[in-house]
Amino acid sequence: MTGPRFPLLMVFVLGQALVGIPVHAFDLVTPQSKATIVVAAGEPECVKLAVQDFVSDVRKITGQTLVVVHRWEESGPNRVVVGTVGVPESNALLTRAAPGVGDSLKGRWESYRVQSNGNQLVIAGSDERGTMFGLYAWIESHLGVDPLYLWSSRAPAQRTTLRWDSIELSSGEPTFKFRGWFINDEDLLTGWKEPGGKRHIDYPYYGDVIPRDVMQAIAESLVRSRCNLIIPASFIDLFNPPEEALVQECARRGVFISQHHVEPLGVSAFSFFNYWKKRGRELKYSYYSHPREVEEVWRAYAKKWSAYPNVIWQLGLRGIADRPMWMADPATPQSDADRGALISAAMAAQVKILDEVGAPTPRYQTTTLWAEGSQLNEQKLLTIPNDTIVVFSDNSPGWKWQRDFYTTPRRPEHAYGVYYHHALIGSGPHLAQVPSPRKTYECLQLAASHGAASLVICNVSNLREFVLGIDATAKMTWNLADFEPERWLDQWIAARFSTGQSTVAHAYRSYFETWQVHPTQGVPFLMDGQMLQTGNALLRQLTQRFQSGAPKTPAVVDSAHSAPPSVGGHAGATKDAFWAGIRDMHPTSTRGALVQGAGAQRAGFTRVHLLVESVAARLAAEEARFLRDNLGHQAELSLQLSTWVEAVTLASEAAENGHPRACRDALTQAEAAFSHLMARAEEYCWGPWLHWYRGSTKLNLRATLQRTREVRALADTLLQAPQPRIPSTP
């Protein structure tokens, strides 16, 4: 036989090409085979947990379970090698799989490289979090797993084959060094399931501990989002085992753990009370009146916290709950200068205690300039210890930075970061998202350009309501330079909805644009918490008016005396640094502005609701459910709250002007709106979310509906009684 001869390997390669199988394809799973995962036994626990998540994801997608081994010789022909540069066993595995793959990663912070090499996939990290984040980045980009699937109820698409021609994924160091979540005002998380335990705390709404399995879900979502920092809950007392369990679950994930800004060295006022109660003493929580006793508690908790790796210590001095220290002790000096000096002395003492207890190194410490902190800092009344990350705060609705962000010189002895609110229970957002990805991007771009990119901590409250904003923030804090808000939103929508993407995008943008902005303060003034607080205050005023026999009949109103009073805000209290620091939480508005703003929101959210329903009917069931949960429900809730507060405001105006029938009719409309809101809330609590609103006792929707009914009934009763003609209130 004459003619050229083809080596057997070449014939095999040509055969692959002819049947359409890429020559260098990497097969993770096929109907006939599956790859082995190789991860060194010496890898940290967080990497091993990430590998377990990877195995779980593949099982959900394909039904196949990948085998995990620790030695090269135990792996099959197709393998995934996961390793951290600097772990000796992993270095050997990485070198064998892809020589030089880790060279560019050495000495870098949380960087990774993912690449296919023939029948191998190599995932290498510069440190344990880099390895973990590289694996999760690949899982999201190539397996289509939503980092927040536990809160979006969004499952990855089913496939029988997982094959790629080539894979190349790498990262530089993240834009923000520390990127994290503050699980704050976690009422829904604590009431959703059976609590993880009880807290010893004399403060309403915080008596239960988040269940341990819920904290496991939170910590998994955090690292899947490539975030590395968490404050696990409000007012953690590490000497209470159910609360310590929350810290333990976060520590397993290899992330940095920090403390609420009311918890210097892990001590809140409630921890202080618990400590001394066990010792038979009841003391005022005051560093001014009891400095030695406060320092003793700081020292005890610092020792306890020091047992955990990766703690970011909080420095500062605040009072009970989320209030300034001078509200806990009226004997505290009353001048801003004296108060600033006391806080400065406390921070110096805290640093000394950390030195004494031998807190692990490298040691990171922060001070968060929220509320009165931002005001005192702006006046240059705080002496902040060296080597501290100074954390500037937004105005609390998550809209703009406080003035001290701009006026504080950036000094080499400090690093700088920011505290941003996706959520805030006092004013909102709490039950409905408000800041758009573009607004968040504008704030974080300012942070980066103004030298405050060492840390960003985001208040995310109960997570479920804020998955869009949380995901966007995670992406932009990782790589701000490549983030473009509008492009990101379009891509986020395209990945989640199989049809009607342009309508969905229009609905989301319309939703964010509907929130009304205060004309002078430039912040939202009709968010969920603001509307509930304002409406309930007006209902209480109406109750007092009806019970005191105030005007009940129409009367000629003297226009010179009919200007409505201001509503909301903290008038007369802005000289205090605390109230001045949170002035944007409750902007002062006239009744006319409330009616106009609520009416505009009512119209805007009605349009959003119609857009959602127009496209939901064409979506697959799971996609429609997510759209209704994440956008439709929030638009409907905001629509009904806007209708309710508009009607309650009109009822208040009618009562003051002596129009009882108009008052009663407006209250009837308010009751109908809130009843509809409650019906929609039940639809939001489906399946695994059955008891989601059970813990909502602070923004108590049921109590507000009952109060609305009671006031409407009072108006009915007064309307049916004989009515003397009396003048309107001047």
Strand stretches in 239-385, DSSP E = 256-258, 311-315, 364-369
Question: What is the pTM for the complete model shown?
Answer: 0.93
Give residue for tokens 């303060």. 521
Is 265 or 560 the better-scoring residue by pLDDT? Answer: 265
Q: How many Å apart are CA 437 and CA 423, to the nearest integer?
A: 14
- What does the pLDDT read at residue 449? 98
Residue spans of the domains in the chain: they are 21-170, 178-492, 528-720
DSSP states of 192-225 as a string?
Answer: HSS-SEE---SSTT--EEPPHHHHHHHHHHHHHT
Length of the chain: 730
* Topology given in CATH for the domain delimited by 178-492: TIM Barrel (3.20.20)
Residue 606's identity, in one-letter code, is T
- What does the pLDDT read at residue 554? 38
Q: How many Å apart are CA 146 and CA 151, to the nearest integer?
A: 10
The answer to whether the beta carbons of residues 636 and 609 sit under 8 Å apart is: yes
Same fold, 21-170 and 178-492: no
Q: What is the CATH number of domain 21-170?
A: 3.30.379.10
Which tens digit of pLDDT belongs to each residue from 443-499?
A: 999 999 999 999 999 999 999 999 999 999 999 999 999 999 999 999 999 999 999
- What does the pLDDT read at residue 723? 57
| Least confident interval from 304-313, 577-586, 645-654 | 577-586
Q: How many Å apart are CA 208 and CA 226, to the nearest integer?
A: 29
The answer to whether the beta carbons of residues 320 and 269 sit under 8 Å apart is: yes
Quick one: DSSP state of residue 384? Answer: P
The two tokens of residue 118 are: 């023939």
- What does the pLDDT read at residue 24? 64
What is the four-CA torsion angle of 631, 632, 633, 635, rounded to 10 degrees?
A: 80
Give the count of beta carbons closer than 10 Å to the beta carbon of residue 707: 18
- What does the pLDDT read at residue 291? 98
Q: How many Å apart are CA 325 and CA 332, to the nearest integer?
A: 8
Q: How many Å apart are CA 550 and CA 375, to the nearest integer?
A: 42
Which tens digit of pLDDT belongs to each residue from 194-216?
A: 999 999 998 888 899 999 999 99
Which tens digit of pLDDT belongs to each residue from 100-119?
A: 999 999 999 999 999 998 89
pLDDT above 80 for 647:
yes
Give residue for tokens 């504080």. 408
